[in-house]
Amino acid sequence: MTRDELKTKKIGVLMGGLSAEREISLSSGGAVHKALLARGYDAVAIDVDRDLPQVLVREWIDVAFICLHGRYGEDGAVQGVLELMGIPYTGSGVLASALAMNKIFAKQAFAAAGLTITPHRVLVRGETFDAVAAGIDLPVVVKPSQEGSSVGVSIVKKAEELAAALEAAFRYDNEILVEKFVKGREIQVGILDDRAMGAIEIVPKKEFYDFEAKYTDGMAEHICPPVLPADLYRKLLAEGEKAHRALGCAGYSRVDFLVTEGGDCFLLEVNTLPGMTALSLLPEIAQKEAGIAFEELVERILVSASLKIQGPGTGDRVQKNTRNHRGNAGRGAGCLFLPVPGPWSPITDFMRDLHVKTRIQPANKSRNRVKKERKPINWRPLITWGSRAVLGALAVAVVGGAGYKGYAFASRYEIAVLQVEAIEVSKLRHLTRDEVLGQAGVRRGDSMLGLRLRRIGEQLAKNPWIEKVQVRRYFPHTIRIEVVEREPVAVVNMGFLYYLDAKGEVFKPLTQGDSLNFPVITGITEDDLARDPKGAREMLTGAVALMDMLKKGRAFTLADVSEVHIDKGFGLTLFTAGGGVPVRLGKDGYETKLARFATVYGELKTQMTAVEYIDCDYQDKIIVKKG
């Protein structure tokens, strides 16, 4: 989505959440919310709780800017809800977020991509201390498998410290990671638009860059850019991008490394939703390495918002001449990144189809749309089912093999329970309900999750009457198709007659039964449109703007005009409805010229049969040539 498009939408900044990093998230979200308001966006701060789906429906947001950290925000859970509700969002998708948050799965993906990771061991709650201690060489780093901001992390140098460290980590997770302690410099690489912006070195005042050091001013020194040999610096940036891609991340992230004195680079983790506070690293990297100020960084991240399961870069809009500027490689549910065998097509198609709606916004601000009251949705089974689907896909991606059976089971379950029973179509002026449904190809009894909503939208967008279309899925049994039809404002005579809309677009040849009760525009040919489409459209847009002025007129109005002629050298000429007398207006200053002509039109109206032409293309006079 472009910045201009986003200025017409309501942006929800999701912050807070349920994890141990709630306060940091509120700080990040507050800073982002303030930046969006300063840039002129319609942004609302949303404190995320367990009632998030209901809040999103109530707030009626169009795009989500995620500023959540830790569990239930950075792990793909919220991303899954947004995918199901069809709300484009910032950052990585469900699978990438879940993988990055789970340090165990992430390390498997990093190793498969050929990246260097620290030696480690996974411990499960219930393992005895003796059994664990026997296989660990000190010093080690103990951390929960699914927390961020160094929550629950300890450095253990002595055997007697290990029990307390394990207990602290198990407070946050049933699985923990015990890594070999590697002494080195802490270097973070900032990623924006899937490219490395630069890096920063963290030198904590205390031995370990823990939660306190990260979020307390003065507790750590930031060196940006880090002092490193040029080849090592370039290697870090390249490996940062490689790690970002290895997890299938989208948009932006922060990649953390340890660099030893010998120049070895150990990849620690990828943060898919890095902090956006005044002390956060990504904004500092953007400012000092890429010259991107905080507000600009926030806006750049916002512009990248999309629905990932549909494929990165495709966005959520379906209309004519839609282009995918980013391509489909490297991110999203369609990209399974671990090099293990398995029948991927069924499971990737299944995940791609989980999006809830294809949204194409009307020209007016989305918050002015009429909301249709519906019975409250019981989200618990949907989220539970969606979570199982995501976890199932994750398991397939990591271990391979069972994809087809899992897909077949899910399909049988869904066909038995979720079928289309009602199809709603918005009010139409030019098309009929049967025409819309016939082109959409949707029928009662179809699978709710099997429908490709984006494909339906693209199919409908081929109809010349349809300017924008929105296809939504309301669980458990309803599909709604909302159509914005084009409204003709004139007929363009180019040898054949065509309708012209208010944006100056020629969109449909007239056929039998189409109304001719519109002003006619002449002077533009099909060759003009083919040779110089931009120039021809500018001239047509100028003619439409002139007609808008005439609609507001009193003495001389659009009803007094039968034709608007475009002359590439002279400008615009009107032909009166009574007698077809040409009124020359030239190339500019139409409002002033029309106002001057309106003062004499009443008197001239009775003499039109004797008038050959009227020339208004003067600053202070009108010339009337009589025959």
CA pair distance 69, 149, nearest whole angstrom? 8
Query: Is 538 one of the annotated active-site residues of the chain?
Result: no
Query: Is 215 one of the annotated active-site residues of the chain?
Result: yes
CA pair distance 119, 180, nearest whole angstrom? 6
Catalytic residue among 16, 21, 245, 473: 21
Query: Is 304 one of the annotated active-site residues of the chain?
Result: no
Catalytic residue among 25, 145, 271, 463: 271
Please count the other Cβ atoms lying within 10 Å of the Cβ belonging to residue 383. Answer: 17
Half-sphere exposure of residue 586, counting CA atoms within 13 Å on the CB side?
Answer: 13
In this structure, are residues 74 and 91 in contact, taking their beta carbons and an 8 Å threshold?
no
Query: Is 269 one of the annotated active-site residues of the chain?
Result: yes
Please provide residue 135's backbone torsions phi and psi, each rounded to the nearest 5 degrees.
-110, 15
Catalytic residue among 74, 256, 353, 563: 256
> Which of 79, 601, 6 has its CA nearest to residue 298?
6
Please count the other Cβ atoms lying within 10 Å of the Cβ belonging to residue 260. Answer: 12
Catalytic residue among 275, 332, 457, 504: 275
In this structure, are residues 236 and 189 in contact, taking their beta carbons and an 8 Å threshold?
yes
Query: Is 239 one of the annotated active-site residues of the chain?
Result: no
Query: Is 289 one of the annotated active-site residues of the chain?
Result: no
CB within 8 Å of 532: residues ≥ 6 apart: none
- Lookup: tokens for 259: 């660099």
- Lookup: tokens for 281: 């690293």
Catalytic residue among 41, 89, 215, 252: 215
Catalytic residue among 97, 149, 253, 306: 149
Catalytic residue among 22, 71, 245, 254: 254
Tell me the residue type at 215. Y
CA pair distance 459, 446, nearest whole angstrom? 17
Catalytic residue among 75, 173, 269, 316: 269
In this structure, are residues 252 and 192 in contact, taking their beta carbons and an 8 Å threshold?
yes
Query: Is 21 one of the annotated active-site residues of the chain?
Result: yes
Query: Is 149 one of the annotated active-site residues of the chain?
Result: yes
C-alpha dihedral, 188 to 189 to 192 to 195, nearest 10°: -170
CB within 8 Å of 190: residues ≥ 6 apart: 196, 197, 198, 199, 200, 240, 252, 254, 274, 281, 282, 285, 286, 289
Residues labelled catalytic: 21, 149, 215, 254, 256, 269, 271, 275
